[in-house]
Amino acid sequence: MKKSLIILAAGKGQRFGGPKQLALVFESYTILDFTIYAAIKAGFNHFIFVINETIETAFKQHWYSGKLPLSCAIDFVLQDNQPQILKPHIVANTAVKGTAYAILCACHLTEKKFGVLNADDLYGLQALQLLHDGLFGNDAGIAVLYALEKTMSKQGSVNRAKCTVVNGELKNVTEQSYHFESGVIKDSTAMAVPDNTPVSMNLWGFPDESIPLLLNRFDMFLKNPVNEFLLPDFVSYCQNKFMFKALLTDETCLGLTYATDLISLQQQIIDLVKQEKYPQKLWL
């Protein structure tokens, strides 16, 4: 059975100063090496990398054929190349950006169910297991959520999707900016926010009916386009169609937002390897 994971790796890394998805965090490994390792351990076996043409050569060289176990398959998708599935929906040469659009560019390569994650976040072994087991254990959508304090950068503000959860079900998703101020997390209005506020880090699972719904929502977007076609908007649209189970993880989501995050992240990954949560050699 194909168990697909779409990896959003087309970002330009403007605040970081370059392609974060290729930054080395431990020996010859990127964050994504550790995430794919965790995903394979969880049970995923098909990885679709959505990339941009500026990193295509270097990215493909890093993920050369034969790197992963023989049981795993890899596909690469250029976000700027419109796949056949979009031909009836979009006029030629129309430029569209955003995380939901990136999924549209890749979903034709999946079977019916698929997971989604960012290339520049280290989600943790437990979080990937929650995603896999939730997605392939029922017919609902899956939102793996983190405590806000476990996703923050001390180097500057970050954007997070704040989530409202009722009886284990995701009810609302709102994009917001957060920053530390005197050791307290505050939002863009300078209001203090509880450390345990559940937020999404784009770790999602989508059930069988998602692809036609994604195309329907995309058609609506094209009639009144804004800057980007984003995942939180699509998730909000889907909440009237099927349930999203909210699965809370106690993992810390380690990511790269600013170049100054890199040294701290490298040390944290060294510590995880010393704790034997990850092996020193991910790929033999």
pLDDT at 107 over 80: yes
Query: What is the average per-residue pLDDT within 30-56?
Result: 95
Tokens, residue 210: 């998602």
pLDDT at 66 over 80: no
Among 89-103, 136-150, 188-202, which is the least confidently predicted range? 89-103
Instruction: Enumerate residues 6+ apart whose C-beta is below 8 A from 254.
Output: 31, 121, 122, 265, 268, 269
Look up the CATH architecture of domain 4-274: Alpha-Beta Complex (3.90)
Residue 231 pLDDT exceeds 80: yes
- Average pLDDT of the chain? 90
pLDDT in tens, 186-206: 998 999 999 999 999 999 999
Residues 6+ away with beta carbon under 8 Å from 85: 104, 107, 108, 215
Q: Break the chain into its structural domains and give their ranges.
A: 4-274
The answer to whether 102 touches 79, Cβ cutoff 8 Å, is yes
